[in-house]
Chains A and B, each alone.
Chain A
Amino acid sequence: MDMLAGKVKMTTQTLDAAMDAAMNPAANPAALIEHPIRLTARDVTVHYGSKQALHGISIDIPDRAVTAFIGPSGCGKSTFLRCINRMNDTIEGARVGGRIELDGEDIYAPDLDVVELRARVGMVFQKPNPFPKSIYDNVAYGPRIHGLARNKTDLDEIVVNSLRKAGLFEEVKDRLAEPGTGLSGGQQQRLCIARAIAVGPEVILMDEPCSALDPIATAIIEELIDELRTNYTIVIVTHSMQQAARVSQKTAFFHLGNLIEKGDTEDIFTNPVNKQTQDYIMGRIG
């Protein structure tokens, strides 16, 4: 809070705007322009064998904004997240029902190439999992297999840009050939984010990206999410409500496989409609 000895002159409107923005990032006048919807989900259900994990989830995910999924453990938020890039396909006995559309295309259509979908929808996992390759190869892997770079120079540029965007370049620029697994936890997670960005996705899914990190690393990742939000659609699953309140513009509350309430982050956290939501946010048991 450094202030000049006199008073800082601000026009009334700028100050009002700043105060509003501080309270609710989504109420920022610049952001009041409604962002178009990228992902729509309608009545999505998931069964693992005979057990039903998700009951009829319907939600819209807007572009260039952060949508947070909150809820207690086992409520289905990670399951739903994994439906968006069809990672549930890799689990034996998982069946997905309902409809999910990305830019109007049904992603569960039989002729849709899952590999291409995953190039458009990237994922960052709870525990950082860089490949046991060099830092350069970690970031270069995606562009290589999807054929995004014509030659080595292109590839170098993609790698450097991705590392810069993930806020990791300055720390690793001298050791790109060292294994990615030799970095600290926070750096590894940023490497995973760089790796996801390198493919140029439109949507980034984050499954509790900070839960395995210390507070400083968490703050760095949150700052990164704030910056990435201007270029990507981000969906983040988090069990920290403060994180959801800090970072997201839209929030959805899940409980026992049901979507209980969804809306603007500020409304959910200050004035939730549903009693279950309210109890969860206040930390009270029903």
Chain B
Amino acid sequence: MTDQSYSAPADAVARRAAVRAGLKRRHLGERIFRVSGIVAIVLALGFVAMLFTDVLRKGIPAFTQANITLDVTFDPEVIKVDPAPVRTEGQSDAEYRAARLGWERQVAMLNWNRIIEAALRAAAPEGFEIDSRQILTIPETDARHRVREIFVNDPSVLGQTRTVTLLASANTDNWAKGNINRDLGDAQQQLSAPARTLIDAFEQEGIITQGVAWSLFTNVDSRSSPAAAGLLGALMGSLWMMLIVVVLAVPIGVGSAIYLEEFAPKSRFTDLIEVNINNLAAVPSIVFGLLGAAVFINWFHLPLSAPLAGGLVLTLMTLPTIIIATRAALRGVSPALRQAALGMGASRTQMVFHHVLPVTFPSILTATIIGVAQALGETAPLLLIGMNAFVAAVPATPVEQATALPVQIFLWQANENRNFFEARTSAAIMVLLAFMITLNAIAIFLRSRLEKRA
């Protein structure tokens, strides 16, 4: 070992000085870029947070609703009907059903509101002055149907008193929750003054309580009983359409992509197809709605507002996404794998289905779920095929009339009872968002699990 330390030649020293001179500027540029990135992210996340906070703030109160707990007496004076038909020997099913229906119609004709009114008056403070019409604005109009159902299911309650929980009307709920300004004069209030006072009294005595608003999930939409309006019909409609999209778009989309990528001879024609598919992905969704209305409703005469028609329109919208994603995934498979399969003597089809597809499966799955999640939130095309109609039934088949979640939100947003439906709309938005977030989370989870295994 010598004592000398290393002395670099002159040009090396000059080079190092030159590099060092530029370093400060380069590091500064890097820092600026990093800071800009962070600012952009903070802004974007900030807006998203604002949106979520707003929706949550408005929507969470809607998950609780005012309920009225009453002792209802099934007064035989009001309930004047024949006894319920019993099944006799030798009676056929049809005969029994006809008899039963006849009896039920009789029951329906009764004035159940009087029973409700009696129960309300019994619960009200002694000598409270309120007329029938006013007191009946407190429960929701479907209260009489609830009570009638109890009797129909168990006619032995005749003459007895039962404790029943009924939905309070939308206006009652607004007053109880404080969604309407108490200082407004009588002319601007929805409820009469005695009704309002009674509601406060009921609240104090615990007759009116806030309970979980199951009606949101278990009821269909309703215009006559706004407090009972729920999302069930819309949920089922959306589920039917999702099912149709998955069953149709995935095989057709994946199959087309495989054919275009692997088997079609490369020519001007296939290039044209590729360009068109890419463009289709950017077409506004309302155009698909027009297409659906013209082709599916007018030419094919599919039932208006049916999930089948809606599902077909959404399939058309999702197809380009799936085709493009699948083609990209197929292109990403290493040629070494394809060569290995072909070298073994596999035919093209065997190579694609035995080797290429299994490798691309996670990507295709992710693309499918994202495509379906997007389709779930589409509103414009569904409006054009008639789903903006008011539908008060759960679609049992895809060809019955139905509506979809985003459309339901749109309809509720237009309801005149703003004080009640503002919150309910936000709650529906939360349900839709929860759906989409769940689907995306499943996509991410599945993809990471499958990629780890690959």
- Give A contacts to B, CB under 8 Å: 85, 87, 90, 92, 115-119, 122-123, 125, 127, 129-132, 141-142, 145-146, 192, 195-196, 199
Q: How far is the CB of B267 from chain A (nearest CB, A)?
A: 11
Within 8 Å CB of A131, what residues of B?
337, 340-341, 355
The 8 lowest CB-CB distance pairs between A and B, nearest first, are: A118-B345, A123-B343, A119-B345, A129-B336, A129-B340, A142-B344, A115-B345, A115-B347
12 A–B contacts, CB within 8 A, in A order? A87-B342, A90-B342, A129-B336, A131-B337, A131-B341, A132-B358, A132-B359, A141-B344, A141-B346, A145-B344, A145-B345, A146-B345
Chain A binding site: helix, strand, loop or mixed by DSSP?
helix
Interface set, chain B 61-92, CB cutoff 8 A to A: none
Q: How far is the CA of A195 from the CA of B336 in the complex (A)?
A: 15
B337 and A118: CB pair below 8 A?
no
16 additional A-B residue pairs with CB within 8 Å, beyond A131-B355, A145-B345, A196-B344? A85-B343, A90-B339, A115-B346, A117-B345, A118-B342, A125-B336, A125-B339, A125-B340, A125-B343, A132-B337, A132-B359, A132-B454, A141-B346, A145-B346, A192-B340, A196-B343
| Residues of chain B with a CB closer than 8 A to A196's CB | 343-344
- Measured between beta carbons, the chain A residues less than 8 angstroms from B347 are 115
Cβ distance B362 to chain A, nearest Cβ, rounded Å: 12
User: Which residue from chain B places its CB closest to the CB of A198 in the assembled complex?
Assistant: B344
The CA of A227 and the CA of B341, in the complex, are separated in Å by 26
B345 A199 Cβ-Cβ under 8 A: yes
Partner of B337, one of A119, A122, A129, A199: A129
**Cβ of B354 and Cβ of A141 under 8 Å apart?**
yes
B454: nearest chain-A partner, CB-CB: A132
Q: Who on chain A is nearest to B336 by CB? A: A129
B406 CB, min distance to chain A CBs, angstroms: 40
Q: How far is the CB of A234 from chain B (nearest CB, A)?
A: 15
Majority DSSP secondary structure for residues of B touching A: helix
Q: B350 on the interface (CB 8 Å rule)?
A: yes
Residues of chain B within 8 A of A130, CB atoms compared: 340
B27 at the interface (CB under 8 A from A): no
In the assembly, what is the distance between CA of A145 and CA of B344, in Å?
A: 9
Which of B's residues lie within 8 Å of A, judged by CB? 266, 334, 336-347, 350, 354-355, 358-359, 454
Among A92, A122, A127, A145, which residue has its beta carbon within 8 angstroms of that of B343?
A: A122
A87-B359 in contact given A132-B454, A141-B354, A145-B350 (Cβ < 8 Å): no
Contact B339 A195 (CB under 8 A): no
CA distance A85 to B344 in the complex (A): 10
- The answer on a CB contact under 8 Å between B344 and A87 is no
Q: Which residue of A lies closest to B453 (CB)?
A: A179
User: Which residue on B lies nearest to A93, using beta carbons?
Assistant: B266
How distant is the Cα of A142 from the Cα of B343 in the complex, in angstroms? 10
Are A87 and B339 closer than 8 Å at their CB atoms?
Answer: yes
Which residues of B have CB within 8 Å of A123? 343
Contacts of A195 in B (CB 8 A): 344
**A residues in contact with B350, CB < 8 Å:** 145
Closest-CB distance, B428 to chain A (whole angstroms): 45
Judge whether A116 and B345 touch: CB under 8 Å.
Answer: yes
Tell me which residues across on chain B come within 8 A of A115, comparing CB atoms: 345-347
Considering the chains assembled together, what is the distance between the CA atoms of A116 and B340 in angstroms?
15
CB neighbours (8 Å) of A142 from chain B are: 344-345
- Contact of A118 with B339 at beta-carbon distance under 8 Å, contacts A92-B266, A131-B355 already known: no
> A141–B350 Cα gap in the complex (Å)?
11
A155 to B30, CA, bound (A): 60
Contacts of A122 in B (CB 8 A): 343-344
Q: Report Cα–Cα, A221/B341, bound state, in Å.
A: 22
B344: shortest Cβ distance to chain A, in Å? 5
Task: Give chain A residues whose Cβ lies under 8 Å from the Cβ of B346.
Answer: 115, 141, 145
Could you say which of B345, B359, B454 has the most chain A C-beta atoms within 10 Å of its C-beta?
A: B345
CA of A118 to CA of B350, assembled, Å: 14
**What residues of chain B lie closer than 8 Å to A132, measured between beta carbons?**
337, 358-359, 454
Residues of B within 8 A of A117 (CB): 345
Considering the chains assembled together, what is the distance between the CA atoms of A192 and B339 in angstroms? 12
A118 to B344, CA, bound (A): 6
Tell me how far the C-beta of A207 lies from the nearest C-beta in chain B, rounded to whole angstroms: 10
Closest to B343 in A: A123
| Across-interface contacts of B336 in A (CB, < 8 A) | 125, 127, 129
Q: Cβ of B339: which chain A residues have Cβ within 8 Å of it? A: 87, 90, 125, 129
A110 to B313, CA, bound (A): 46
Find chain A residues with CB under 8 A from B345 CB: 115-119, 142, 145-146, 199
- Residues of A close to B344: CB separation below 8 A: 118, 122, 141-142, 145, 195-196, 199
Cα separation A123 to B340 with both chains bound (whole Å): 8
A145 contact set on B, CB distance < 8 A: 344-346, 350, 354
- Of all chain A residues, the one with the shortest Cβ separation from B337 is A129
Q: Which residues of chain A are near B342, meaning CB under 8 Å?
A: 87, 90, 118
Task: Give the nearest-CB partner of A137 in chain B.
Answer: B354
| Residues on the B chain within 8 Å of A92, using CB | 266
Residue in A closest to B344 when the chains form the complex, CB atoms: A142
Inside 8 A of B355's CB, which chain A residues have their CB? 131
Q: Give the residues in chain B near A118, CB-CB below 8 Å.
A: 342-345
